[in-house]
Amino acid sequence: MGLFKQAWQCNFKEKDSRDKRQKLLKKALNQVAKAESEAKLARIALEAPLTTVRGAAIKRLDDQAVLARLALTENDMLVRGEAIRQLTDQVALVQVAATDPYAPYRLLAAKAITNDAVADQVFHAIAKGKGESHVAKEAVGRISNPGLLLDIAQNAYYPDAAIAALESVSDQSVLAGIAKKDGDIYQYGKVATAAVARMTDPKLLTDVAQNAQICYARSAATEKLKALCSHEWDGCKCKICGEIRDEQHDIERITCKRCGRTLSGKALLEAVRNLTDQALLEKIASTGYDLRMCPHGFTDDVRMIAMEKVQNKSVLSIIANAGSGFMNGRYVGSNSYSIRIAAAMKTGDSALVERLKQDSASYAQQYDADMRSGM
């Protein structure tokens, strides 16, 4: 009788058909289901050639010594995982949670530990160390000890675990310390910005904005300060946080004297509309844009707005009569016919207006003729 293998001892051969394999497996599983002694289940769990058969035996096995042996030393991951699921021995579970090479199995063992203090320590090691990011993050959610959570927030290998632990940190000084810490800009940068997001102390946020090692943290702190600030505006710039708004700029050429921003588009148009300084309005109205000689001049739409507010008719007359050149020893760029006609209309000189309109029409005809001859 000893020459014959039992059903659980059979293994598949390369030439076996699919049907034959299914029949062999079915017989082996039936034998496992009928096994009544722990000794026989243990032998099958340890010696069966087929992983599925071993797993079936482990599910019925109560022998903690055998389960611990399989959980700690088995190379077959499926068999080892099933043994860990059935294991209740607390000493063995702690060993598995500390040493298994597969992070999800370490977490699986830790979940079965019944002593809360011990479990916290085991989860702390999993959350703080290497393995798999999602496992580390889940481990954080199972820790109740604030000190351990703080350590993870400050020192975890995976950013997701550190960020999850930050949810329990409210001390503003600690958060500032985490935000200012140096590290990999792409990995630790996530942690630093998450710490900033939990900060509310303006003084500490200012410190982070100025001194954080990672640029993302500095930017996040700057934006948070702006969000928390009850702004005290000095024209376009807040006296408290330094935020700039696109209104009430104090312009000189195309740069705001107050905030230093180079204005363009709607911000520049609005700034000119709000001007009352006649000297500056005259300067804007009379300074055309010339890429080579007057690159800081103004475009016609900006000049038109300024010109509507200029009161000095002699300045308007000079603009109307000057195609390009100098005004009071200063090069003022070129004046389009639309600018010159608008200036002439403000002076009330109807003859000048009519002459400029005729010159404009002649110029347009000549330009058209030149283009045609060039073609």
- pLDDT tens-place string over residues 229-276: 777 777 778 877 777 777 666 665 566 777 777 777 787 788 888 888
- Is 299 within a domain? yes
- Is 341 within a domain? yes
Residue 341, number of CB atoms within 10 A of its CB: 20
The pairs formed by 257-261 with CB atoms below 8 angstroms and a separation of 24 or more are: 258/234, 261/236
pTM, to two decimals: 0.62
- pLDDT tens-place string over residues 15-63: 999 999 999 999 999 999 999 899 999 999 999 999 999 999 999 999 9
Distance, CA of 242 to CA of 226 (rounded, Å): 8
* pLDDT for residue 294: 42
- Coil, strand, or helix at residue 170? coil
First-to-final CA distance of the chain: 109
Q: What is the DSSP string of 234-290?
A: ETTEETTT--B-SSS--EETTEETTT-PBP-HHHHHHHHHT---HHHHHHHHH-B-B
Amino acid identity, residue 257? K
- Is 349 within a domain? yes
Encoding tokens for residue 73?
Answer: 């030393």
Which segment of 33-42, 204-213, 316-325, 342-351 scores lowest on mean pLDDT?
Answer: 316-325
pLDDT at 72 over 80: yes
- Is 318 within a domain? yes
- pLDDT tens-place string over residues 291-341: 343 455 677 888 888 888 999 988 888 888 876 555 555 444 567 788 888
Q: What is the DSSP string of 289-311?
A: -BTTTBTT-B-HHHHHHHHHH--
Amino acid identity, residue 249? H
- Is 328 within a domain? yes
Half-sphere exposure of 56 (CA within 13 A, CB side): 20
> Quick check: 58 and 79 in contact, CB under 8 A?
yes
The pairs formed by 145-148 with CB atoms below 8 angstroms and a separation of 24 or more are: 145/120, 148/120, 148/121, 148/124
Q: Taking residues 351-368, what's their average pLDDT?
A: 84
Position with higher pLDDT, 325 vs 91: 91
* pLDDT for residue 252: 57
DSSP-based helix, strand, coil % in the chain, nearest 5 = 60, 5, 30
* pLDDT for residue 269: 82
- Is 283 within a domain? yes
333: phi then psi, degrees, rounded to nearest 5: 75, -160
Encoding tokens for residue 326?
Answer: 């100098």
- Is 73 within a domain? no
Best CA proximity match to 259, nearest among 283, 282, 233, 281? 233
Structural domains in the chain (count) = 1
The Cα-based distances of 129 to 56, 133, 161, 198 in angstroms read: 33, 9, 10, 24
- Is 365 within a domain? yes
The Cα-based distances of 12 to 17, 50, 231, 373 in angstroms read: 9, 8, 78, 92
Distance, CA of 268 to CA of 102 (rounded, Å): 62
Domain span at residue 344?
Answer: 275-374
Best CA proximity match to 53, nearest among 15, 12, 9? 9
Q: How many helices (DSSP H) and strands (DSSP E) are in the chain?
A: 21, 6
Q: Taking residues 179-202, what's their average pLDDT?
A: 92
